[in-house]
Amino acid sequence: MQGIPLIWNITKACPWNCSFCCINAYYLPSFESLETELEKIKRKGVELSLEDKLKVVDNLDLESFDIDISGGEPLLFRENVEVIRRLSKKFGRDNISITTTGRGLALVDKNALKDIIREVGFTYDSPYEPNSLRPKGYNSSNLEQIKQVVQIGGMRTMAQIPLTKLNVDEEIIKDIYRNLTDAGVERLHLMKFFPVGRGAHRLDLSLTNQEYQTAIDIYQKLESFEGPRVYVQNALGDSDKNSSHLNITFRGLLLSDPWAYDPHGEPLEESILGDLRYQKFSGIAKL
């Protein structure tokens, strides 16, 4: 039975400073003292305590969920791996995935990771560096670390590709698909760009419906048994509300829409369903 799909942005901290980040992530450029930084951002209210994260886990009190752990960078702090382990024990490895980056993957034991998650998701939206949307090294390090995941085996891999004016040229699409094929990536997910969070004012990146469809058609023509399977988000609608995904914010709030964030990365009031630090999911669902 398909579980209730949840995206949990377990942290707002991220080692990348992407110009259109949907949650306006808290930039942590240095890896020298991650645990010290963790305590600092907890005091600032940017990160839940481990106790509160585990309360969220406990309050997911229905039998079946399908949970993607995202961020920020969900693998940046060791305690988040422990939270993932608890979720995996509670709901089963096959119901847990992560969306991460190359820097996060470089911090963890990938052999141990495969025991607690079924799939590693990552963004790969440009074959060229640098570009105006991503810091230098973002896409290339994601792909290099995913190659290691593929070599280890035991975990599925999925590339997430937000489509914008900057990456729908046919030659760019061919290069993206070729690189993913060479890396052994199994699936790719074409996504609509939503002007939310840090990208709220980047309306210039948005595509027309026809431009979306043209890009989708090119990807689908490239699809082969050797390359990644192409999956398409509900890209032609005005929002992603037609999907059944709910969202848990880095503060433990349950949202009706994963994209319901203002330019400061704060959730829109009308999307807040409840607070999973203090409320059971089953109780919120009845409201």
179-196 pLDDT per residue, tens: 999 999 999 999 999 899
CATH of the domain at 88: 3.20.20.70
Domain of residue 109 covers 4-286
| Band (11; pLDDT cuts 50, 70, 90) | very high
| Band (208; pLDDT cuts 50, 70, 90) | very high
pLDDT given at position 225: 73
pLDDT given at position 237: 47
95-141 pLDDT per residue, tens: 999 999 999 999 999 999 999 999 999 999 999 988 889 999 999 99
Average pLDDT, the chain: 92
How far apart CA 287 and CA 282 sit, in angstroms, is 9
For residue 235, is pLDDT > 90?
A: no
pLDDT given at position 244: 67
pLDDT given at position 239: 46
Helix ranges restricted to H, 75-189: 78-91, 102-106, 110-113, 138-152, 170-183
Which has the higher per-residue pLDDT, 224 or 16?
16
Domain count across the chain: 1
- Rounded mean pLDDT, 16-24: 93
Q: DSSP states of 121-144 as a string?
A: EEE---SSSS-SSS-TTHHHHHHH
